[in-house]
Amino acid sequence: MIILGLIAPIAAFFFVDSVAGDLLGGSSDFAFLIAVIAAVCSGWWIVQNVLANRHNFLHPEPREYRATSKQVFVKLRETLNELSYNFGDRWHIVVADTQANRIVADLRFTDEESDFDQRTQRVQRFLRFEANIKDTSFGCALLQLDFNPRVEGMSFWASDRIITEMMAAIDMQLGAWSVADVR
pLDDT of residue 1 exceeding 60, the answer is no
pLDDT of residue 126 exceeding 60, the answer is yes
More confident residue, 74 or 115: 74
Lowest average pLDDT, out of 32-46, 95-109, 120-134, goes to 32-46
Residue 73's contacts (CB-CB under 8 Å, 6 or more residues apart) are 98, 101, 103, 133
pTM above 0.75, yes or no: no
Q: Residue 152: which pLDDT band, with cuts at 50, 70 and 90?
A: confident
Angle of helix 160-174 relative to helix 69-82, nearest 10 degrees, comes to 130
pLDDT of residue 173 exceeding 50, the answer is yes
Contact 125, 87 (CB under 8 A): no
How far is the C-alpha of 111 from the C-alpha of 125, rounded, in Å? 7
37-81 per-position pLDDT tens digit: 777 777 777 777 777 888 888 999 999 888 888 999 999 999 998
Contact 171, 76 (CB under 8 A): no
Q: Residue 25: which pLDDT band, with cuts at 50, 70 and 90?
A: low
Strand intervals (E) in 63-118: 63-65, 84-85, 89-90, 92-97, 102-114
